[in-house]
Structure 1
């Protein structure tokens, strides 16, 4: 993609855009919530639809001139229904958090009760953290994983629900490396007559490809991001049964958003179309296989993985058993200097600040998009360990950086 026109109009922004393209080309993206979309998705997102207001829904807009906006949104909806098997789909949320807000506004009243996973145990801000709107508007209590096993304590969740009597239970997580038993969480919700919201933001693509169990048809509501493991336009999505369709649509517009970002909806349509191709199933399975290979090699180096491994696209590493004096932030910063970009992350039983926690989270969606296989991911694990073991050794960081340069040149991204 060329930025010649941007450079003519605004050289400073062009410098930043070209710098970001170079950064992505020259580093390994291992933040579990990030991926690389196709040039077709990027082109759709930079289309003339960025100029168009389309408040309302296809066939029921508040402005004229929406015939092509309607076409794009209907394509996105129809493709989403085919991918996930949902009865009703809203593709307008600007993000996964906005999708969650749409569900809350659609079925809850201020002060209603939310039961969700603790942020330090792998939950998400929009599930009810006090700093987020959900924690400010609703009464929230949070369940946890078993700190010994790293797995969700489903019995404890059920007991907590019986005691707390929530109006909605939230499943789905931002740093949980195991497959989720949505049926068991639904049973807990049914026992207390609560709604069940399954947030599949991280595993949207894995669910679409059938390599992770789907909550569609199990949970009352399913939300997700459209740019992590699905590689579509950046934003969010809500899926539900027809009985909730009107409430959800009204909660998104006009309840929590104005005009949809139709250029992003176009990116969603293109990305969903790509995900319907047979090759996408291979991509999703390779993403999981790569994460398993990455985790197993890290374990061979003596690092401790939360839950002992992974079933999905990410591994969560607890540094305390092997490197008790090293923080996740130190490792994150040293790895970024070496060209491997991942994030410091809290771990179950966290003893440090969330700003400088005891763990790191590493994902494989971006590596898999570049063409990495299990062997390549094992080598990446070797490089990560070298830095974990000596984050302040400039020679080690430089050695790893040289190998990252070779790998990014071998597995090219954007020309």
Structure 2
């Protein structure tokens, strides 16, 4: 009889349950049911939420690959764990593609999210208590830029700029006055609900005047930047952060991009070990996949269509009497004020979801209502364009939105609209076999 640490042949055969390396999702009916339900929802409904898109099967397979088993820490070719030959190849590929796509010198593809990318930059470049000048969430900024409920809002002194009450656009004079008075260490541009082009050169001039870094968070327009349909922040910003989904149409996660080698050690250390641990290597593979797709000519055509479709949707909704914040959009997203329908965003979003149209409630600039029941909706053309919807489809979508918002309690009308939505989706199917 062997000592306690020795395993018999029988022990070795029983250390994993039967079918461990062979059984798939069908072996867990509860989980399979929930995932199948989400698949049907995506197939039969129209996604209009600005922070979502539809990835390719390539991205799905990369993210669901054998890389889920591998743990690595540190940068490629300088890992703390062994067995990293192919991990380095995957991450190196993602970095090389991002550098080429955005024409920058340095990239970190490890952030688990856009918020982690921002937090890592803050930790690497700032001291606790430093002042950050960023767009107010109520005006369209992102919560990771200093909302009081976040670590950023707790650990740094946040000064917020908004938009002009008349134009609902960024007022550089206001930003300059705030910067001169508050002397921030960092100025942040970009947000989650601002639909217009941003003057990055003007913001860099303000940052330079007060000795601040300029950080641009391009999460909602990165795909447009990559294809030349939106101003490029990289010639002006000290650092750029982004997510890799939304307009990049890929894996959920974040990236940091910069050109000055002097920042490299601080930014990389801010990400790891600063705000996160080991790399989600399967996520990095998904990023590599979508960055490769973004280099193809059809990706430029996609982003051109994103803008055409968004502008069509905005015009068509305005024709129904709904007000579009700023009067239009330069990106794939827009804010819609609901005052003309006498509705709040929460009520409108629920009714539209029942009709097969997924949107999100959103505050609008100078909103007198709370975020839980705001005055607006945020819409996007990103996912619908990925499905192949053109301008005529988005004109129909505007009509359906108008129909539901005029009759949010009419179950039969909502049911009929859902059938119309499903019919359009059937003409533009996604994932015809289970991914």
Whether 1:293 and 2:305 are equivalent positions in the alignment is no
- Whichever of the two has the greater Rg, that structure is 2
Over residues 18-68 of structure 1, what are the superposed CA-to-partner deviations in whole Å (9 max), with x where a residue is unaligned? 111111001101001100000010000011111111101111000000000
- 1: CA distance, partners of 2:130 / 2:173: 23
Aligned to 2:100: 82
Matches within 5 A, 1:319-358: 319-320=338-339, 322-323=340-341, 325-358=342-375
- 2: CA distance, partners of 1:411 / 1:389: 27
Whether 1:412 and 2:414 are equivalent positions in the alignment is no
Determine helix, strand or coil for the equivalent of 1:276: coil
- 1: CA distance, partners of 2:41 / 2:23: 21
Matches within 5 A, 1:48-63: 48-63=66-81
Matches within 5 A, 1:199-278: 199-241=217-259, 242-278=261-297
Matches within 5 A, 1:385-404: 385-404=402-421
- 1: CA distance, partners of 2:407 / 2:176: 43
- TM-score norm. by structure 2 comes to 0.93
Q: Of 103, 112, 117, which aligns to 1:99? A: 117
- 2: CA distance, partners of 1:304 / 1:8: 47
Moved more, 7-16 or 399-408: 7-16
Give the gaps of 5 or more residues in structure 1. none
CA displacement at 1:8 relative to structure 2: 3.6
- 1: CA distance, partners of 2:24 / 2:355: 30
Task: Give the length in aligned residue pairs.
Answer: 410
Determine helix, strand or coil for the equivalent of 1:229: helix
Over residues 174-232 of structure 1, what are the superposed CA-to-partner deviations in whole Å (9 max), with x where a residue is unaligned? 00111111111111111111001000011111111111111012100100000110012
Aligned to 1:137: 155
- 1: CA distance, partners of 2:137 / 2:407: 29
Q: Is the 8 Å Cα contact of residues 86 and 217 (structure 1) preserved in structure 2? A: no
- 2: CA distance, partners of 1:273 / 1:146: 39
- 2: CA distance, partners of 1:5 / 1:286: 41
CA displacement at 1:5 relative to structure 2: 4.1
- 2: CA distance, partners of 1:226 / 1:100: 14
CA displacement at 1:9 relative to structure 2: 2.7
Q: Of 312, 321, 328, which aligns to 2:331? A: 312
- TM-score norm. by structure 1 comes to 0.97
Whether 1:381 and 2:415 are equivalent positions in the alignment is no
Q: Of 199, 203, 217, which aligns to 1:185? A: 203
Q: Of 78, 82, 85, which aligns to 1:64? A: 82
CA displacement at 1:319 relative to structure 2: 1.3
| Moved segments of 4+, more than 3 Å | 4-8
Determine helix, strand or coil for the equivalent of 1:129: coil
CA displacement at 1:116 relative to structure 2: 0.6
Aligned to 1:303: 322
- 2: CA distance, partners of 1:308 / 1:23: 32
Q: Is the 8 Å Cα contact of residues 6 and 13 (structure 1) preserved in structure 2? A: no
CA 1:8–1:304 in 2, change beyond 3 Å: closer, same or farther? closer
- 2: CA distance, partners of 1:196 / 1:396: 49
- 2: CA distance, partners of 1:151 / 1:5: 54
Determine helix, strand or coil for the equivalent of 1:400: helix
- 2: CA distance, partners of 1:240 / 1:15: 43
Determine helix, strand or coil for the equivalent of 1:72: helix
CA 1:5–1:310 in 2, change beyond 3 Å: closer, same or farther? farther
Q: Indicate the RMSD between aligned Cα atoms, in angstroms.
A: 1.0
